[in-house]
Amino acid sequence: MEQRVSLITLGVADVEESRRFYERLGWRASRASVPGVVTFFQAGGMALALWGRNELAADARIADDGAPRFGRVALAQNVRRREDVAAVLAEAEAAGGRLQRPDADTDWGGRVGYFTDPDGHLWEVAWNPHFTLAPDGALKLPE
Amino acid sequence: MEQRVSLITLGVADVEESRRFYERLGWRASRASVPGVVTFFQAGGMALALWGRNELAADARIADDGAPRFGRVALAQNVRRREDVAAVLAEAEAAGGRLQRPDADTDWGGRVGYFTDPDGHLWEVAWNPHFTLAPDGALKLPE
């Protein structure tokens, strides 16, 4: 299995409502999207998809009791400057997200905060001086 | 907010057990990893992190009742050839993953199947003739 991720699918209650949230953050959907059914966003060399949680559960043959809760997954966006953490969290709140944890310094010398999207999916916003961000936003770990 | 994802964190019960699963799949951890605490894998222009689900929940100030269940998120790896779907699913099973749904043709002309990692995180393996895969594995949506 190659060492890469092609797509992250977020199961959502309402694809259009979720799409509008990400569009208010400035994201633009691919024309591969199907209104009301599925939305795709190019995200670097990968894609983020918004799809009905029922459809995702059925497709994966997994039970879904419908409750909102901790999904044990967090997406993160690493930002270029320490002060960008608070700025992105504020943008997310203004777009209708929920501030999950205000930004604060970390014990590893960075700064992080969290917001959740309209379906409660966790997003971390992080400034990490130990990881390299390329001009195009690609993140490079130490090998 | 820029249109990209820097990192996906999977909350896991045992970081070393999870790391060994991904290593059996042929993945190699970054030296940014801290044994027993956190594992990072470079994944294209992004990273995948394995971190204790308790630590992730505490960091995000979110409640975690500890039960395994549908997290409403699926990661996907798109493969180059139709027959690669079954091959990657077989690799994942051999590495200790669980076959969640055997590979089958889709109504949009592709072929997909799902496995779960040792913590039940969903992975879709997909062959999608409508999306472009670059030689380096980057996925490109229609604009």
- Mean of all residue pLDDT scores within chain A: 95
Q: What pLDDT score does A132 carry?
A: 92
Chain B neighbors of A31, CB-CB under 8 A? 142-143
10-residue mean pLDDT series, chain A (143 residues)? 96 96 97 96 96 94 80 95 98 96 96 95 96 94 89
How far is residue B106's CA from residue A52's CA, in Å, rounded to a whole number? 17
Instruction: Please write the tens of the pLDDT for every residue from B27-82.
Output: 999 999 999 999 999 999 999 999 999 999 999 999 887 776 788 999 999 999 99
Q: Confirm whether the ipTM is greater than 0.85.
A: yes
- Is residue B118's pLDDT more than 90? yes
How far is residue B13's CA from residue B20's CA, in Å, rounded to a whole number? 13
How far is residue A128's CA from residue B91's CA, in Å, rounded to a whole number? 34
Do residue B111 and residue B127 come from a single domain? Answer: yes
A interface test, pick of B2, B31, B103 with most A CB neighbours within 10 Å: B2
Do residue B42 and residue B4 come from a single domain? Answer: yes
Do residue A38 and residue A96 come from a single domain? Answer: no
Q: What pLDDT score does B63 carry?
A: 87
Q: Which of B44, B66, B88 is the last residue of a domain?
A: B66
Please report, for the domain that includes residue B98, its CATH number. 3.10.180.10
Q: What pLDDT score does B64 carry?
A: 86
Q: What pLDDT score does A82 carry?
A: 97
Q: What pLDDT score does B33 carry?
A: 97
Cβ contact, residue pair B30, A142, below 8 Å: yes
Q: Is residue B142 part of a domain?
A: no
Do residue A116 and residue A99 come from a single domain? Answer: yes
Range of the domain at A18: 1-66
Q: List the strands of the sheet with A98-105, edge to edge.
A: A98-105, A111-116, A122-127, A73-78, B7-12, B46-52, B38-43
How many residues comprise chain A?
A: 143
- Give the up-direction half-sphere exposure of residue A15: CA atoms within 13 A in the CB hemisphere: 20
Q: Is residue B33 part of a domain?
A: yes
Counting the structural domains of chain A, the total is 2
Number of H helices and E strands in chain A, helices first, is 3, 9
Interface contacts A/B by beta carbons within 8 Å = 240
Chain A neighbors of B133, CB-CB under 8 A? 6
Closest to A71 (Cβ–Cβ): which among B47, B73, B100? Answer: B73
Q: Which of B66, B93, B118 is the last residue of a domain?
A: B66
Q: Are B140 and B132 in contact (CB under 8 A)?
A: yes
Nearest to A142 by CA among B10, B30, B4: B30
Q: Which of A66, A101, A122 is the last residue of a domain?
A: A66
